[in-house]
A and B are shown apart, each in its own frame.
Chain A
Amino acid sequence: MAETERELLRQEAAYAGEGISVRSLEDSIRTERARQDGRLGELAGMKLRNAEIQAALAREMSRLKELSDQLGKTRAQPGRLARLLRRLFGGGKQQLEHRSIEELLRAQYEASAVRVKQAAELVDRLEAAKQELYDEVERLNRKIVESATNEETAAAMVEKLQRLKVELEARVAALDPTSASGRQMQADLDLARRRLAEHTTKLTLFGTAEERISGLKQNTWKLAEVIGHLQTDVTRYVTAAGEKLDLIAGQIQAIGAAADASLVLLELKQSLEAMTESVQQTTRFVAETQAYFRDNVDRMVDDLHVYDSETERVLTETAAMSDAWGEAEVERALSAAIARKAARAPGPEAAPK
């Protein structure tokens, strides 16, 4: 047996990263899956938060509308304003029925400020979650590249060992099996088969890891995209609502300073309409977001469940293969690895021009 052949049998392939086994791959995938479950839990929390804000905004909408309607009635009846002012500034007995417009508006403003603040905080939480997901994509990409590199290394080893095995089988056939040299050749053949089985297992495991981690990465991307869309939309409405609130904060002081001016009442009405419109946009958005979450997140969870069962199936098959290696399995693993590479390689039409 040539020295290069002996070297091949003794050689430990230089795989990157930590070693891989069925158990370690299973553990690694489970860890990643648990991490994603945590992310989905966070997303569910944000979904719940949105629902709370939506409910609170709906209540405020109703109050704003009521206040706006009251102001509308006051404007529609000129005599009513005069009576109102007489009650405020005129003499004689008076019923304590008139609520201060400034007071009502302040109460509404302060309640709305809390809601907008909560929504603004949600935007930052979404941003933080999104950044963490991008970090996770980077980390998963490193793992994918590592697995792909290791898969190529394993494939090269399997090819070499396969050729050596065929060569050794021919040599064994040419020798007396009971002779010392025949026994030695048989021992070399057995070692080659063992090495072949080991590297074929690794080839399958690295291929599986690459595929599964790619699947996880896709889900992580989807999650980041969902959060990104949500963040963009919440930011839009928080900005709009914040601007309206700033406007109203200034006007509240002006209104209080001249509460008997019909012009101020008109401005107040306009402010309320602006605020109502803003809150309507918000409510509409939150409702749409809820639908978006229902449609996407739930489907994503389903996808992950499918993914889980798929992973389990592959891992079970891999475990079975490691128990009973046959030549057919080796051929199949090698062919599958080659087919995967071929499928991922760009076709002629996709090649850069």
Chain B
Amino acid sequence: MTEGAGASIPARVLCGAEESAYVRRLRETLAAARLGSHYPDGTKLSSHLGVLAPEVHRGLYPGLEVDLRSGLPTYREWTRAQTDVKVAADQLRQLGARAELERKAGGKRGAIHEKQLAKHDYYAAIAEAQLSPLGEMSVALRRSDPETKRAEFHVVLDKLDASGLFVRYSLDFAQTSEAWARPVVLLQADDARHTEGFRSLIYQFTSYDAEFTFLRLATMGGLAVERVVKGVVGPLCLPWTKGEAPVRDILGADGFVAMFALDMAAVDVPADRDNDPFADLLREKLSPEARAEYDASRQRYGYKVFKDRKFVAPRGVVAGLKGLCEGRGGRNVIYGV
């Protein structure tokens, strides 16, 4: 394990058995977390992680760089897997038949032929791998009414956030516009450009909470926001990551705590409820004047906020974590593994 050099974020490189154990543990944790549709797709995330496993890359990479803030692999590593899967089919074609590579590697011709054989096996193993998108938005038209010129949308943005966490933003909103006066609505070129701008806007909001995004969209002309849900995978707190201090204290030498936050601002939430003992609220960072404006907006747009967080931890850590959550007023789901 070595400290990452040259990166702008704190990072650590895991190698060999440690790298292997880390990937295996994280995949097991994702499976145990039972992530629903408001979170990034757990199956794709696990498959993406699988590409990074040393058993799969066969030593072609020196190690795995982990972001010490999130406890997850760094953006560079997720991109590495994405790049390799993208080029896999083409590289397999260029490397040629495995039997020939095996013949050359077996003929004591030096390390390069063994490396080419390992590459063939690596690319063959990952060519069909499903990956978690690092920044991808889908827009679905739920309904349109030409008479009222109103269209309702469901938008999902998946992103590896700047904080190193995987985030899924799910948005439901309606727009009243001349554009929706047509009897059959198709997302055509103009709309696509509009969508691109919208995507960029949402893209920038992913580091903020659901309420902030709700408010920002609600203040835009013609948009009636119904729901903003933010599901987050991470952080994974390990003894050597920069997680919450009280969490680090309960980990012991080899424990971990994986967190999965859910943050919702919606008009159909019956009451405000905060069940997230580690929530980082933008509202709390505002000046008294700005906070008053924030509260007034909550009244004006009629939405409520619900926050929750579930956890995965080794059974030996569950009791300590439960006590920590209860001490902060939370009654949270904790899956022991």
What is the interface of chain A, defined by CB distance below 8 A to chain B?
A: 49, 88, 91-100, 102-103, 106-107, 109-110, 113-114, 117-118, 121, 124-125, 127-128, 131-132, 135, 243, 245-247, 249-257, 259
Contacts and interface: CB of A to CB of B under 8 A. Distances in A.
5 contacts: A98-B201, A103-B203, A125-B116, A249-B74, A250-B8
Contacts of B7: 246-247, 249-250
B217 to A, nearest CB: 10
B6 A250 contact: yes
A256 to B, nearest CB: 2
Residue from the set A93, A249, A251 with the largest chain B CB neighbour count within 10 Å:
A249
B135 A103 contact: yes
Contact of A117 (B6, B83, B198): B83
Contacts of B219: 91-94
A294 B230 CA distance: 56
Residue from the set A99, A107, A114, A253 with the largest chain B CB neighbour count within 10 Å:
A253
B162 interface: yes
Contacts of B6: 243, 246-247, 250
By secondary structure, the A interface counts as: helix
A93 B221 contact: yes
A116 to B, nearest CB: 8
A94 B87 contact: no
Interface residues of B, number: 44
B37 interface: no
A117 B74 contact: no
A253 B82 contact: no
Nearest to B67: A253
Residue from the set B83, B109, B207, B220 with the largest chain A CB neighbour count within 10 Å:
B83
A250 B5 CA distance: 10
Contacts of B87: 114, 117-118, 121
Given A102-B162, A114-B87, A249-B75, 17 more contacts: A102-B204, A110-B79, A113-B80, A118-B87, A124-B116, A132-B109, A245-B76, A246-B7, A249-B7, A250-B6, A253-B8, A253-B9, A254-B8, A254-B162, A255-B162, A259-B162, A259-B204
Contacts of B119: 121, 124
A90 B220 CA distance: 11
Contacts of A94: 219-220
By secondary structure, the B interface counts as: helix
B245 to A, nearest CB: 20
Interface string B189-204: 0000010011111011
A257 B163 CA distance: 6
Contacts of A131: 109-110, 112-113
B164 interface: yes
Contacts of B201: 96, 98, 100
A171 to B, nearest CB: 58
B94 interface: yes
A121 B134 contact: no
Interface of B: 6-9, 11, 67, 74-76, 79-80, 82-84, 86-87, 91, 94, 104, 109-110, 112-113, 115-116, 119, 134-135, 161-164, 194, 197-201, 203-204, 207, 219-221
B94 A125 contact: yes
Contact of B203 (A49, A102, A114, A117): A102
Contact of A96 (B80, B84, B198): B198
A128 B134 contact: no
Contact of B74 (A88, A103, A253): A253
Contacts of B113: 128, 131
B134 A256 contact: no
Contact of B200 (A96, A109, A113, A121): A96
B134 A106 contact: yes
B9 to A, nearest CB: 5
Contacts of B112: 124, 127-128, 131
A258 B110 CA distance: 48
Given A246-B76, A257-B207, A251 B109 contact: no
B294 to A, nearest CB: 11
B34 to A, nearest CB: 28
A203 to B, nearest CB: 35
B162 A124 contact: no
A29 B197 CA distance: 65
Contacts of A88: 204
Nearest to A97: B197
Contacts of B86: 114
A98 B198 CA distance: 9
B218 to A, nearest CB: 10
A118 B91 CA distance: 8
B129 to A, nearest CB: 16
Contacts of A249: 7, 74-76, 79
A39 to B, nearest CB: 14
A91 B115 CA distance: 57
A96 B135 contact: no
A139 to B, nearest CB: 12
Contacts of A135: 109
B203 A251 contact: no
